[in-house]
Amino acid sequence: MIIGIDPGYSGGICFLEDGKVTNLFTIPLNPEGDVNFTGLIRIMSEVRGSDVVVIEDVHSIFGSSAKSNFQFGRICGILRTLAEFTGAEIVLVPPKTWQKRVWTEEDIVVKGKKKDTKGTSLNASLRIFPEVDFRKSARATKPHDGLVDAALIAYSATVK
C-alpha cells in the first residue's frame, strides 16, 4: 500500500493499492477550521508498518503571511509525526519531482503565460484514474485539489 499525502488545510490523503485508489480523505477540520486531530489519527491508524507514506515536501509559501506559513508548517509536522508513529517507510517528494513523474505533455494546461498546476494535475488524475471521483462529497460540483494531488503523489512513487 502506498499512501500519498498533500499537506495543508485543503490537502488530502490517498490510499493506493496495486495501482488502484482504495480510499480518499480530505484533511479533517474541526468546526473552528483547525485540524481535527482525532479524525487525522483515525485516518493514519489505517497505515501499517509495511506501507509507504509519500508526503509532498513543501516549504514556506512566498507571499503568504507569517501566520499562514506557521500554520502550514504545523500541519506538515503533525502529518509527518503521525506517519512516523505508523512504522511505515516515509518518503518526502518535492512538488516538481512528483509532477515531473506523472504529468505528460497532453496534461499541461496554460493560463496566460504560466502553467496551471491545478488544471494540469486534474488532467493527469483523470487520465491515470478515470474511474475515481475526486469530489470532496457528493454535493460538491468540482474535484478537490488536495485529493487530486494526494492521488498523484501516491502514484508518483510507482513511476520513476
pLDDT in tens, 1-51: 999 999 988 999 999 999 999 999 999 999 998 889 999 999 999 999 999
Which three-class secondary structure string do you get for 96-134? Answer: HHHHHHHCCHHHCCEECCEECHHHHHHHHHHHHCCCCCC
Whole-prediction pTM value?
A: 0.93
- Angle ∠(35,63,30) on CA atoms, nearest 5: 10
Contact 27, 146 (CB under 8 A): yes
Contact 76, 7 (CB under 8 A): yes
Q: Do β-strands 52-56 and 2-6 pair in parallel, antiparallel, or remain unpaired?
A: parallel
Share of the chain above pLDDT 90, in %: 81
d(CA 86, CA 25): 17
Q: Which of 34, 30, 25 is nearest to 144 (CA)?
A: 25
Burial of residue 30, with CB atoms counted within 10 A of its CB: 0-12 exposed, 13-18 middle, 19 or more buried: exposed
- Please tell me which of 33-47, 72-86, 132-146 the model is most confident about, judged by mean pLDDT: 132-146
Indicate the class that CATH gives domain 2-156. alpha beta
d(CA 40, CA 79): 8
Confidence of residue 60 (pLDDT cuts 50, 70, 90): low
